[in-house]
Structure 1
Amino acid sequence: MGNEWQEKYREMMEREYFSKEEKENMVRKLMQAGTGREEAAGSRHVTGKNFMAGRFRIKGAAAACLAGCLLLTGVAGASAAGFLKPVSDVFAKVFRLDADDERLAGEIGKPLGESVVSNGIRVSADAVIADSYAYAVVFSVEREDGRPLGDGQKLASDKWDFESADIEAAAQKEDSAIWGESYSYDEVPEDSAIQYVMLANSDGKIKAGGIISVHLSNLRHFDTESSKDYIVEGNWDMELSFPEPSDELVVKKEAEIVELDGSRFTIEDIGISPISYHLTFSIGEDSGLSVADGAKLLDRCTMELELKNGKRIGLGEGGSAVKVNGRRFQFVYGDTFESLVHLEDIKAVRIGEMEIPVQKK
């Protein structure tokens, strides 16, 4: 994907007012940063979650990951074909749900029950939770004959992945970027199914009532200890009905300004939902700051969600993208939370030294 993306991004840059040297440096720096993260993504363990992260396709030619950001994040559940499992059960281990969280998950999520069989393997979509910029989907994977995956011999549940795992919301704009993470685990060790989790974030808003298109191909198991590589060739395609996005908090004022090392960034958008956050910053190209340097400044900036009980949740460490909008650079940050966040518990968003109040949309 690298060369094709680079050429498209270079073509996009030709429409902006930069010198040839600036354009070449911008593309080179962005591609170097993206390549490093792609190499790390294939084998990276995510802190606080017991799984091996797996990449899935990034959509959109007009977007690039920022220097120093993570490309990834994660989700889970289980269901037999045709059986609608409660959303709270599906996401219980993924978001570490307590009693209050279970009620919230039931309100903002949607059971699915869609199922596809290929080469003797059934993949069932269990449930989805979504907001305006992110969605979490959980699948169950099992053999049709009920035997354990892996020629009847049950293999480590956290080493399963698909060779290709693409997810796309039909209602998103063509130039939107999607980044995310996938992993597997075993919800019920006594049964023969494993759970496969996909989390996706986007820099473009997702319309309510849309369709999520999922393409999975070639189920694989990686056993790093004995170097075994088990594969079942197949294709599992499905279109999943998108739920109504959950409520979110947004910034009370427009065009807040944060100054970082003498450079003034506009805070264009702040969105906080129970499952994720979405932050958009911008700076004019006449600021003299390159895209890479702007990304580095924002990466070093403290971004936190402050709760009423005094607890703070770090923001800005998940996936991110940069776009050119007119003669301004836009820097978009987004990620899912480790646990569901109750909006009524939020006091403010902190960007650098600024405390920014938020309100329900």
Structure 2
Amino acid sequence: MKRYQDTMDSLHFTPEQKARMVDQLMEASASPVRRPHTFRRVAVAGVAAALALSVGVAGATGVLSDVGESFSALFGVSAAQTEIIDQIGYPIGASATSNGVTITADAIVGDTYSYAIVYSIRRDDGQPLVSQEVLESGDNALPLTFDSHDVTPGNPLAVLLGGGGGGYSRFYDADPNDNAIQFMEVWTFSSPIRPGKVTATFQGLYEASEDYLDKELLAEGPWKLEFHMAFEDSSVSLPAGQDFTLNGMDATLDAVTLSPLSIMVEYTVHQEVPQAERENGLEDGGNDPYAPFRDLPIVITYTDGTTLEIDSGNTHIGSGSGRAKCSIGLVFDTIRPLDEVASVTVGDVVIPVSQ
């Protein structure tokens, strides 16, 4: 239990997400739960959902060329990006209808630790789901929200115990010439994604005010989609085991996993986060006892000389027994093939990427 609580300490949630997470965990276990603490960039939408994700191989059907188009809003529309996504992504096609509104899981792209999935939402009578004013109000993100959205495994044994995850989601309009809008979610996990059928459930679709304090019901739902996620895992493992120094602490690089979609860096700091600082950090939102443990410079250098600095990834830290097990993961904004990567630098460790 102590290791699980230490893991929870290193995560960050919005107030709404905290409440949802606590409700889910209280239903699943009578054990007490600590308030989570901060990590950078990405808010976790609920550890219960994060731990419960499971991905299985299925005989997906459909036209693979549509997959790249589905993710153009996330990764761009260049021919090279679309070609890569078509190679590693798969269509899904599972749908659910409630009260005249249908949600369809269109496509997924993923790797060992991360995935992105696009859903389409449309009214069955052909009318627009939201007004033209709403469609034009969002800067690549429409002011919509679900009352709840969860992804859970069909097999309870597929739950990822002891891990965590983070991600983000947004609504957008991929094609102004149809009546559908899209909902996209991106997730990164600290443990490898494991096989198992999944069920995606949605409840209450709302149009929200700019500050999301006021909202108007568009469709009540619920919607329940059952499917197996399938994607081509193009991840490669880079040489690891090197020792380095992080903020004056001795550390070891455990693993670096790289794909066109994301990067995951796992390392051990040979010093644990002090218990007193952890407890104080929970009570003081301005104090982050985990910051020195995750302040790890990570830079990807491409063959054309450009670089990408990973300074805003999902961070997971489990501290105890005199050490801290850490991971930093990030889904890229742009898809690039691995043969364009020259090296990955972690701290002062430079790892060439074989071409």
Q: Which TM class, normalised by the smaller chain length?
A: 0.7 to 0.9
Q: Using the alignment, how far apart are the partners of 2:40 and 2:84 within structure 1?
A: 30
Would you say how many aligned residue pairs link Structure 1 and Structure 2?
A: 312
Say whether the 8 Å CA contact 1:63–1:176 is kept in structure 2: no
Q: Give the 3-state SS of the residue equivalent to 1:93 in structure 2.
A: helix
Match of 1:189 in 2: 176
2:292 is aligned with 1:297: yes
Match of 1:306 in 2: 301
Superposition map of 1:247-326 within 5 A: 247-252=234-239, 254-285=240-271, 295-324=290-319
Paired-residue identity, %:
21
Say whether the 8 Å CA contact 2:298–2:311 is kept in structure 1: yes
Match of 1:333 in 2: 328
Q: Give the 3-state SS of the residue equivalent to 1:310 in structure 2.
A: coil
Q: Using the alignment, how far apart are the partners of 2:265 and 2:235 within structure 1?
A: 13
Q: Using the alignment, how far apart are the partners of 1:272 and 1:110 within structure 2?
A: 20
Say whether the 8 Å CA contact 1:180–1:201 is kept in structure 2: yes
Q: Using the alignment, how far apart are the partners of 1:100 and 1:123 within structure 2?
A: 29
Deviates more, 1:122-131 or 1:262-271: 262-271
AA at the equivalent of 1:127: A
Superposition map of 1:216-255 within 5 A: 216-224=202-210, 229-231=215-217, 232-252=219-239, 254-255=240-241
Q: Using the alignment, how far apart are the partners of 1:100 and 1:124 within structure 2?
A: 26
Q: Using the alignment, how far apart are the partners of 2:302 and 2:330 within structure 1?
A: 18
AA at the equivalent of 2:260: P
AA at the equivalent of 1:101: Q
Gap change, CA 1:316 and 1:300, over 3 Å in 2: same
Match of 2:14 in 1: 38
Gap change, CA 1:164 and 1:223, over 3 Å in 2: same
**1:146 Cα deviation (Å)?**
1.1
Gap change, CA 1:275 and 1:112, over 3 Å in 2: same
Match of 1:79 in 2: none
AA at the equivalent of 1:92: S
Deviation string, structure 1 residues 44-91 (Cα, Å, up to 9, x no partner):
xxxxxxxxxxx99699899997745122499xxxxxxx9767101111
Q: 1:343 aligns with which of 323, 338, 351?
A: 338
2:48 is aligned with 1:87: no
2:146 is aligned with 1:166: no
Q: Pairwise CA RMSD of aligned residues?
A: 3.6
Gap change, CA 1:338 and 1:99, over 3 Å in 2: same
Q: Give the 3-state SS of the residue equivalent to 1:106 in structure 2.
A: helix
Q: Using the alignment, how far apart are the partners of 1:148 and 1:110 within structure 2?
A: 27
Q: Using the alignment, how far apart are the partners of 1:88 and 1:212 within structure 2?
A: 23
AA at the equivalent of 2:185: M
Q: Using the alignment, how far apart are the partners of 2:128 and 2:272 within structure 1?
A: 60
Gap change, CA 1:211 and 1:65, over 3 Å in 2: farther
Q: Give the 3-state SS of the residue equivalent to 1:341 in structure 2.
A: coil
2:134 is aligned with 1:156: yes
**1:300 Cα deviation (Å)?**
3.3
AA at the equivalent of 2:248: G
Match of 1:12 in 2: 2
Say whether the 8 Å CA contact 1:211–1:239 is kept in structure 2: yes
Task: State the TM-score, normalizing by the size of structure 1.
Answer: 0.74
**1:138 Cα deviation (Å)?**
0.2
Q: Using the alignment, how far apart are the partners of 1:233 and 1:287 within structure 2?
A: 45
**1:218 Cα deviation (Å)?**
0.8
Match of 1:211 in 2: 197
Q: Using the alignment, how far apart are the partners of 2:223 and 2:299 within structure 1?
A: 39
Q: Using the alignment, how far apart are the partners of 2:174 and 2:44 within structure 1?
A: 19
2:116 is aligned with 1:116: no
Say whether the 8 Å CA contact 2:14–2:43 is kept in structure 1: no
Say whether the 8 Å CA contact 2:315–2:328 is kept in structure 1: yes
Match of 1:134 in 2: 114
